[in-house]
Structure 1
Amino acid sequence: MITLYHRSDCPFCWKVRIALVELGINYQLIDTVLGEKHPEVIKYNPKGSVPVFVDGPTVIWESNTILEYLEDVYGPEKLYPGSPARRAQQRLLVSYSDTVVGPALRDQVFEKRSKPKAEWDWDVIHKSEEAWRNCLAQLEQWLGDKPYFSDKFSVAECALLPR
């Protein structure tokens, strides 16, 4: 059985969980806590971070690599449907989620998570909100009037939904 070590507040973990559900794969979920190093996570991942995915002897600790493994082993053309050009576009959307959308929200999340409201830096929060609005505008432009970024649910939705 597949085991996934995760944190409930981690969008990278949610990306993998969404893919597992979409592919109809049963898995065991092991919760970890922010700031605490889970011994199994440390055993499997030299970085000590989640997600950590274990499928028998196969151990993977990077979310995008986990998604590619799931596609290769459990779901040909389910997460990355379409032509090579279409699949490349989906990979770009995953990268955009990780490198642009996530960071747009990160400063605000960290500011609000780490301090009482009276100590929040509102400049940081407002800049983050503006960056988030810009991301939404770009995503809306790419999505247009389609229900999905590809012809059907894909890795792009797995990456963007947790954001």
Structure 2
Amino acid sequence: MTADPADTDQAVADYTASLPAKRMAAAVLFFDDTDRILLVEPAYTKTYWELPGGSAEADESPRAAAVREIQEELGLTVEPGRLLAIDWVPPRPGRTEGLMIVFDGGQLSPEQVAAIQLPPEELRSWAWSTSHEQEQRLSPLLARRAAASCRARAEGPTAYLENGYAVS
């Protein structure tokens, strides 16, 4: 007697449904003509700035999440470029573990910069930031992720990170 492939598919589906879910978010790095990156300042109770982007919704790819979040946060319709970094972040109080994905948004044109519109309930401001300003504005984890993403953009290979630190 031959096994029915539908039975095998059902067994695999039941198994994968039991696996733990991970939080996932996507960010896009945008650059100006001097290679500063665009950072956004949240309007809510965070004490640090962020990379533009946000959480992926159920059944949404990281790339689709990046496109949606940039439209929501900056009012820009962009197609992200290549993958710069993947960062696994361990759980911490109040947050599950997660995978953070960073895409290259390239250099924004003067027209795109002029078209930026922030949702006032979510973002207070945005600014071009040098590496020194990134270290001051971002949390240590986000500063490590941004720096690794910038290196990946300049040097070529995608960065694999754990908690913002490169893993070789």
Report TM bin, short chain: under 0.3
Higher share in strand: 2
Larger radius of gyration: 2
State TM-score, norm by structure 1: 0.23
